[in-house]
Structure 1
């Protein structure tokens, strides 16, 4: 536990850079001092490309921040080497906006800021974004990924 906390503290920093690409609804690449840095949005999980609302979530993120300079309050690196953090543009918490507008779920496994749950409840209540979809199409991305990993393994894909 102490080792994990030390790694977490060591990885915390603030990055400022221009958004040069949007991979999906919760992953961007920013240019920091001529170096491209991949950033995964902390505490949220947007639908995957193959899921309902996945393309819409990505498009929303493009419209919000593509080509703009953002500040990222990073927490740590994930297992894929991405910086994980909160993205701020023009004083706005983009992670929170994506949840409140229904473009992402709160990622409960990594949740630290429980007020994000209020934003998700708001989005559900007004049927914003993905919450406007039929219930059968509202599968959290972590469940969708797990189901597709099992399916891919059965089909010989890893």
Structure 2
């Protein structure tokens, strides 16, 4: 591991991490393969977006099978949700633990009914392996010759501007923001910036400006902050 890489890893540990929070309750609704609603004992409803995975949208191939699996595994079950933040819609972005201790997030990947949503840095090698195994076995959506990732399916003609804080972020648009950080220069930029890189290999994806700033990145002089 080089000196620069070591420093980056060290900074990732030094940055104050959001406190892990927990919600327990019954799953009363499954919207799609990665979104559900939990009702607590006090009748409070929480919408939950499964972290680190992205299931096909309902208008995509395998969108309905993904939802069916989530229904079979979680509907009317008592679950534990671990999360660290909410997105702009108030959804808890987290992990859902089923009564048998398994993670719903991982079960969707194992069945080939979700992609590993690579928005964390570093990426989870464990989740990458689960996705790879499902792909290798042609499970679920991987029977398709050229499956379209949900984040590409959702992409609009005009890319959205990156939000300033995690709570202003739409988790489903994390990759669409195109907010990239260069580990070598410690500079970040987004698609509307002049000279935005065409080759993004080696860059880090951020979902909002605060996350980039907290890791010591600074905005490129070629960007206009509106």
TM-score (norm 1): 0.84
State the alpha-carbon separation in 1 of the partners of residues 148 and 119 from structure 2.
16
State the alpha-carbon separation in 1 of the partners of residues 91 and 65 from structure 2.
23
Find 1:143's aligned residue among 144, 147, 152.
152
State the alpha-carbon separation in 1 of the partners of residues 96 and 130 from structure 2.
16
> Which residue is equivalent to 2:126?
115
State the alpha-carbon separation in 2 of the partners of residues 113 and 16 from structure 1.
25
Give, in angstroms, the shift of residue 75 of structure 1: 2.1
Q: Quick one: higher RCO (CA 8 Å, sep 6+), 1 or 2?
A: 1
Any idea what SS the aligned residue of 2:61 has?
Answer: coil
State the Cα deviation string for residues 85-116 of structure 1 (Å, max 9, x = none): 11110211110110011010000124653210
Find 1:92's aligned residue among 85, 102, 115.
102
> Which residue is equivalent to 2:22?
14
Q: After the TM superposition, which parts of structure 1 deviate over 6 Å for at least 4 consecutive aligned residues? A: none
CA RMSD of aligned residues (A): 1.9
1:27 matched to 2:38? The reply is no
> Which residue is equivalent to 1:131?
142
State the alpha-carbon separation in 2 of the partners of residues 82 and 75 from structure 1.
11
- Provide the aligned length of Structure 1 versus Structure 2: 143
Structure number with bigger Rg: 2
1:80 matched to 2:89? The reply is yes
State the alpha-carbon separation in 1 of the partners of residues 54 and 116 from structure 2.
6
State the alpha-carbon separation in 2 of the partners of residues 140 and 110 from structure 1.
17
Q: Which has the higher strand share?
A: 1
Give, in angstroms, the shift of residue 76 of structure 1: 1.0
TM-score (norm 2): 0.59
State the Cα deviation string for residues 65-94 of structure 1 (Å, max 9, x = none): 100101111121112210011111021111
Aligned residue runs from structure 1 range 34-49, under 5 A = 34-49=43-58
